[in-house]
Amino acid sequence: MTYTLEWIKNFDGNINIHNVNMSCLANVIETYVSQYKYVYLTNMIDYPEIILSVPNSSIPHLLGLSREHHVNLPSNNAGNIFEGLKDDWTLERLQKADNGWFNENKFKIIGTLLLYQMLHLIQCKFYTTNNILNKEVGKRFRRDNIYFVVFKLNNEISYTVELSREQGNLYFPRSLKINDNSIKNCKEIKLQLVDKKRFKPTKARKVNWSS
C-alpha cells in the first residue's frame, strides 16, 4: 500500500501497526509534512506569530528512534536514520533489532502518520505551556524547554507533539507523547496556518543495516 496525500488527510488512526510500511511512511512525510516551515498566527499577545520548522531529522525523534530508545540502530544520526527509513529499514527489522522499542513506541508510528492533520490544524488543538512553566506541574516542560504542544485524539488515544524553541519565534517538534495527561494543565490557544514554505534538506547519508 502507498500512502498518499488524500490518505494522510483522512487517516483515522485505524491501522494494524504491524502492517505499517516504514518506507512509505517516511516518503509521504517528507513529501507533505517535513522539510517545511509552518507560519501560524495566534491569539496570544506575546506570541502573535510562531514559526514551526520540521526537518527530516525531527521525525526519528518523534518515532523514538534514538540512542536512548532503540539500542541496536546502525546509526544514531537522525538524518541518516530518516534516510534508512526511506530505504530498507523495515518495521520488521526495527522490531527484531529491539523489540522493547516497538512495544514502547508503536503508537508513535500512528502519531507520525497523523502529523499532517496536526500541523494543518485538522481536528486538533494547540496549547501553550506558558501558564505553568513556573509551577510544579510544569516542571517537565520547563526542563525539556517545551513552549507549545499540539494535541489530537483518535480512537480514544491521544497524541501530543511537544514544540521546543530554536530561536526567537522559531520552534521545532521535540517529542511525541501518547496519552499524556499533563496536557490538562496547559492553556488552549487559537491558531491560524497562514503560510507553509519548503526548505532544502540537510545532507544525510544512506547507512546499510548489516544482516
Establish if 211 belongs to a structural domain. Answer: no
205 lies in a domain? no
In a domain, 91, yes or no: yes
pLDDT at position 210:
66
pLDDT in single tens digits along all 211 residues of the chain: 689 999 999 999 999 999 999 999 999 999 999 999 999 999 999 999 999 999 999 999 999 998 776 777 888 889 999 999 999 899 999 998 888 899 999 999 999 999 999 999 999 999 999 999 889 888 999 999 999 999 999 988 999 999 999 999 999 999 999 999 999 999 999 999 999 999 987 776 777 776 4
129 secondary structure, DSSP code? -
Q: Is 14 within a domain?
A: yes
Q: Facing residues of 39 across strands?
A: 51, 195
pLDDT of res. 69:
63
Residue 120 sits in which domain range?
5-198
Is 81 within a domain? yes
Query: Does residue 55 belong to any structural domain of this protein?
Result: yes
94 φψ region: left (φ > 0), alpha (ψ -120 to 50), beta (else): alpha
| Residue 181 forms part of a structural domain | yes
Res 163: pLDDT: 97
Angle made by CA atoms 149, 3, 67, in degrees to the nearest 5: 55
With vertex at residue 106, the alpha carbon angle to CA 35 and CA 28, rounded to the nearest 5 degrees, is 30
3-class SS at 17? helix
* Residue (of 36, 202, 180, 189) closest to 119 by Cα position: 36
CA distance 96 to 101: 10
Give me the pLDDT at residue 191, please.
Answer: 96
208 occurs within a structural domain: no
136 Cβ partners below 8 Å, 6+ apart?
A: none
Tell me if the pTM is above 0.85.
yes
Give the number of domains in the chain: 1
Amino acid residing at 48: P
